[in-house]
Structure 1
Amino acid sequence: MRSVKREAFSVKGESRLLRPLAVAVGLLLWAASGAAGDLSLGDPRKMTFAPVEFTPPEPDRVVLDNGLVVYLLEDHELPLMTLTATIRTGAWLDPADKIGLASLTGSVMRTGGGGGLTAEQVDEELEHFAGDINISIGRQSGSASLDVLSKDFARGLQIFAGLLRAPAFEPARVELAKLQALETIRRRQDNPGSVVSREFVKVLYGPDHPTARESSIESVTRITREDLVAFHRATVHPNGIILGITGDFKKDEMLAALRAVFGDWKKGAVPELKIPDVPPQQAAKPAVRFINKETSQTHLRAGHLTIKETDPDYVPLAIANDILGGSSFRSRLFNDVRTKRGLAYSVGSRLNTGVHDEGVWLMRAETKLASTQEVVSRFVANMERMRTEPVSDEELAEAKEAYVNSFVFSFSSPSAIVNRLVELEYDGLPKDFLQQLRAKVVALTKDDVLAAAKKHFQPERLKIVAVGSGEALPKVLSSFGEVKEIRLSPEG
């Protein structure tokens, strides 16, 4: 979805780091209850613990006169500095005939020199003091980062600001980046897993939607150096950038350094990040598609568009997905399709949501051609079960505990804390958004999960995409609807 992602539900199971602490706390509570005198009275497997409480430190937020937003959090443990920039630009702004422009712009901002330095001079200076700068532009945002020792931060910041503000886009580096992009396109169809993921997104959104469209040899070939210069000039402005800085510094000195390199950068017209929704008729229509490709297994995707992360049903739907297939070894899909029936080694479900475009909910598996129909049938059966039966107390407790225990990993370091706040501000969300999600998880009931599953798992809208070899695949899929073939265009 977007290049910057929150992963509030991505850490599954009990943390290895938290387990010793939980056991220790449990023993203390048990001892306080008077049971410590007889070890036979306590079974560690039946212990219950209160949710882990954690209050992260609060970074400072400062806005420079030109609108550039800065989050700062000092950390003097090591003589290191990390600076990140989130930029309100992205591939959603690519012209229809030049898809790939934003990505190339971000790449050559880093590799093509800037700030009065040639590309070779930038690389040599960074190598001299072991500094690292990265710049890229994804679908919904751009990002840049600087990692450097504290003693070299002043020079690193100058180089970083030069590349961000005044990239040179050296012609030779532009051509090299285009050749690399073209080679990536030529090899894009080699991996069946990548093919099914890309084609599934196209079926969901439509191939011309900003979230699904992809570059081609023709679109990249059309891009010129002047296009990169114009794209940078039109979309990269200080009032569209949020900086996050952590490390061994003092706030006043840091702000003075930032004003020295960014203070005279003039404001610009920042593009509004607005992704259109898919037309309701297209989103509601089921589909069955296949790609004929020589591969040892059928690669499956089945799902549909779903809610955004700001929807009131996001938390119960995320927990429903976790129980269905998101939690790997303890999920229903894993235990049914893999453990019980032995139909697939890799199986699960996923809920990908954002703020700016519609989310995606999907089930996935890799299986033999002979078992493809049965796997899809098990997808539908487990989906229906989630919609019609309450989850068990144990399933709900495990899913909730996994999230609550994983919450601290959203704030595992000063840089993680700052990056979370930068992401939230970029998406227009309150700074306590993750804390709100956590509170909703703690209060969640089985009825909440059932209602969300019934409302948002919709079999009648299911879109199925399969990549596999042989002419038998369409017949295998025909019981789920009219099957149509997706013919991949030759690349190169």
Structure 2
Amino acid sequence: MLRPGHLGVFRDEVWRAWGLLLEDLAEPVPSYQIDPDRAAGGCYHAPVTTVVPFLLQFALAAAPAPVVIPDRPEALRFEELRFEVPDAAALRHVLSNGVPVYVVEDHALPLVDVAVAVRSGDWVDPLEKAGRASFTAALVRRGGTASRTPDDFDEQADFLGAELASVASSTRSGATLNVSSSSFGEGLELLCEMIRTPRFDPARVATARDNLRESLGRRTDDPLAVLTREWSRLLYGPGHYLVRELTPRHLDGLTPEALAAFHRATWRPESMVVAVSGDVTTTDALARLETCFAGWPAGAGAPPPWPPPASTFPPRTGFYRVERDIPQAKITLGHLGAQLKGWDDPDDAVLEVMSEVLAGRLLRRLRGELGIAYRTDASFGTGLSAPGVFEIFLETENANAARALREAVAEVRRLREEPVGEPELAFARKSLIDRFPLLFDTAAEVAGRFAEDDYLGRPHTYWTSYRGRIGRVTPQQVQRVAQRALQPDRLLAVLVGKWADVMSGAQAAGIQLDALVRAPVVQLPERDPLTLEPH
């Protein structure tokens, strides 16, 4: 079928018509296609001189009208995007033991995704047991189950073509399954075994511990990892759960018994939420999940406190550097973000638009106009129980680092001092609104987004009102929150790069680096990759 605007399809149809015609002419004519009334050799086929013009006339008649492409991308015009947020209530179900489940059917492909999130993560670990939550989650998948050895479990997963994983982050743990719909039942049984009765096989635990020990020695090799570590330590303090890292002294405590005890204490059904999506019926998915969770008792004792605690560390301000002989300097600057009063805080949307404006300005100025940065990004994070993080990231030649920093700080000040023009603000609002449907682009994203609402306590109405809140943001509101939330005189900046080249570039540009953040430049010590203690 010819589709307007699809020139490739149109071309393929023409050539296909020609190919079929030539095949017909090359084949012997069966006797039943001979027309006895046309004994002079006439046959069922129409003459080429008749068929070809007919086919060409048909094909060309169906050709789309030429598309006029404007000279400038700004002149492109598109139809208004129509998108409605799915009805979360219609997708939410609750198992008999109280576990919320979101099921989004999508029968386009014979695949099913299942994600289980549990309120466990790095924030639960005390400083002396750093790494326990992440190591436990990793071994949930790798360590076998009560009824299967690790090798048996791996073999069965491979036989089903099922992808099973488990992982922990700073504020959550969980497990996932991706499997063909024909093997959904058996795949879900594996997932349920995995999260309910992990074996923590001693041999697998020992191997994972040895591999982890070996990898610790490379932690200071990656400049970006060094930047992230030092920035976080200066912002939150070395003991905060967002900063704590495992060291060799923690490895000895990661025994099968310790992992099993942590799993029992934190991987509790009452702390879980499930998202199911793909080629499955809601009725079948819920029935199988009921079987999965049947008889799983609630955890003994109180669950880990939620939400995670806020940092009490006073963030450091100033300019800090780490020496690395690399061609591009990597820089992070910023400070703590904002703490909202609730999910309906009116400043939430204003801060998001402000962040979009700043990111756009940095991109245009540093990459488009000056051409001195390879990468730029800016985000202003918010939180409910603790402030988020305001962060600008820059990657530039060492010699251009001072100029890039100067321009970034200037843009932060400009947001405070000048109202954003309406055309620029309209572009930022439209960018956020136009990207919004991508948050619900697949069935897995729909189920996961609404499951995350349950996990965080975020109302589903947050999404239904999102575009309206973004669309109402004004220049005056952006300047008001910028003056309150952005603190260019209290910035924390960390640079990883070749300092001699950075200084040469600063001197050539007439820039005093310590004046940019109004604090002297401090060189941070090198750290031992195993212990992370300063040399």
Q: Number of residue pairs matched? A: 446
The amino acid of 1:84's aligned partner reads A
Residue in 1 that maps onto 2:514: 478
Residue in 2 that maps onto 1:68: 99
1:323 aligns with 2:354: no
Question: SS of 1:160's equivalent?
Answer: helix
| 8 Å contact from structure 2 (residues 400, 502) kept in 1 | no
1:433 aligns with 2:462: yes
| 8 Å contact from structure 1 (residues 299, 365) kept in 2 | yes
1:314 to 348, 364, 374: 348
Higher RCO (C-alpha under 8 Å, 6+ residues apart): 1
Deviation of 1:178 after TM superposition, in Å, equals 1.5
Quote the Cα distance in structure 1 between the aligned partners of 2:310 and 2:303: 22
Question: SS of 1:344's equivalent?
Answer: coil
Quote the Cα distance in structure 2 between the aligned partners of 1:189 and 1:385: 36
Normalised by the size of structure 1, how large is the TM-score?
Answer: 0.84
Deviation of 1:147 after TM superposition, in Å, equals 1.2
2:160 to 118, 129, 132: 129
1:111 to 124, 133, 142: 142
Q: Deviations over 1:351-402 (max 9, x none)?
A: 3445454211111212333333222221211111011111122211111111
Measured at CA, do residues 181 and 409 of structure 1 come closer, stay the same or move farther in structure 2, by a change above 3 Å? Answer: same
1:56 to 62, 86, 91: 86
Residue in 1 that maps onto 2:529: 491
Quote the Cα distance in structure 2 between the aligned partners of 1:127 and 1:117: 14
| 8 Å contact from structure 2 (residues 310, 385) kept in 1 | no
Question: SS of 2:104's equivalent?
Answer: strand
Residue in 2 that maps onto 1:457: 486
Deviation of 1:50 after TM superposition, in Å, equals 5.5
Measured at CA, do residues 347 and 150 of structure 1 come closer, stay the same or move farther in structure 2, by a change above 3 Å? Answer: closer
Question: SS of 2:241's equivalent?
Answer: coil
1:466 to 478, 486, 495: 495
Q: Deviations over 1:390-415 (max 9, x none)?
A: 11222111111111111111111221
1:264 aligns with 2:295: yes
| 8 Å contact from structure 1 (residues 115, 161) kept in 2 | no
Deviation of 1:305 after TM superposition, in Å, equals 0.6
Quote the Cα distance in structure 1 between the aligned partners of 2:401 and 2:192: 53
Quote the Cα distance in structure 2 between the aligned partners of 1:166 and 1:374: 56
Quote the Cα distance in structure 2 between the aligned partners of 1:160 and 1:370: 52
Q: Deviations over 1:132-166 (max 9, x none)?
A: 11111111001211111222112111111111001
Measured at CA, do residues 183 and 47 of structure 1 come closer, stay the same or move farther in structure 2, by a change above 3 Å? Answer: same
Normalised by the size of structure 2, how large is the TM-score?
Answer: 0.78
1:45 to 54, 59, 75: 75
Deviation of 1:431 after TM superposition, in Å, equals 1.1
| 8 Å contact from structure 1 (residues 140, 273) kept in 2 | no
Q: Deviations over 1:225-284 (max 9, x none)?
A: 22211110110111111011122333333322222221100012432223333338x14x
Quote the Cα distance in structure 2 between the aligned partners of 1:56 and 1:126: 33
Quote the Cα distance in structure 2 between the aligned partners of 1:261 and 1:49: 46
Backbone CA RMSD of aligned residues: 2.5
Quote the Cα distance in structure 2 between the aligned partners of 1:276 and 1:163: 29
Residue in 1 that maps onto 2:373: 344
Residue in 2 that maps onto 1:304: 335
Q: Deviations over 1:22-62 (max 9, x none)?
A: xxxxxxxxxxxxxxxxx9xxx98286875644232544322
Pick which of 426-435 and 219-228 moved more.
219-228
Q: Deviations over 1:436-476 (max 9, x none)?
A: 22211011111111112111111122101111234676896
Residue in 2 that maps onto 1:328: none
Measured at CA, do residues 291 and 173 of structure 1 come closer, stay the same or move farther in structure 2, by a change above 3 Å? Answer: same
Deviation of 1:425 after TM superposition, in Å, equals 1.0
Quote the Cα distance in structure 2 between the aligned partners of 1:200 and 1:272: 27
1:275 to 308, 322, 328: 308
Quote the Cα distance in structure 1 between the aligned partners of 2:233 and 2:224: 15
Quote the Cα distance in structure 2 between the aligned partners of 1:365 and 1:80: 40
Quote the Cα distance in structure 1 between the aligned partners of 2:402 and 2:369: 17
Quote the Cα distance in structure 2 between the aligned partners of 1:274 and 1:225: 28
Measured at CA, do residues 297 and 251 of structure 1 come closer, stay the same or move farther in structure 2, by a change above 3 Å? Answer: closer
Quote the Cα distance in structure 2 between the aligned partners of 1:296 and 1:464: 19
| 8 Å contact from structure 1 (residues 286, 460) kept in 2 | no
Query: Map of 1:380-459 to 2, 5 A cutoff?
Result: 380-459=409-488
The amino acid of 1:437's aligned partner reads Y
Quote the Cα distance in structure 2 between the aligned partners of 1:76 and 1:472: 57
Indicate the percent of aligned positions where both proteins have the same amino acid: 30
Question: SS of 2:374's equivalent?
Answer: strand
The amino acid of 2:85's aligned partner reads T
1:209 aligns with 2:240: yes
Question: SS of 1:97's equivalent?
Answer: helix
Pick which of 401-410 and 362-371 moved more.
362-371
Deviation of 1:186 after TM superposition, in Å, equals 1.8
Residue in 1 that maps onto 2:125: 94
**Rg (Cα) greater in structure:** 2
Deviation of 1:223 after TM superposition, in Å, equals 2.3
Question: SS of 2:92's equivalent?
Answer: strand
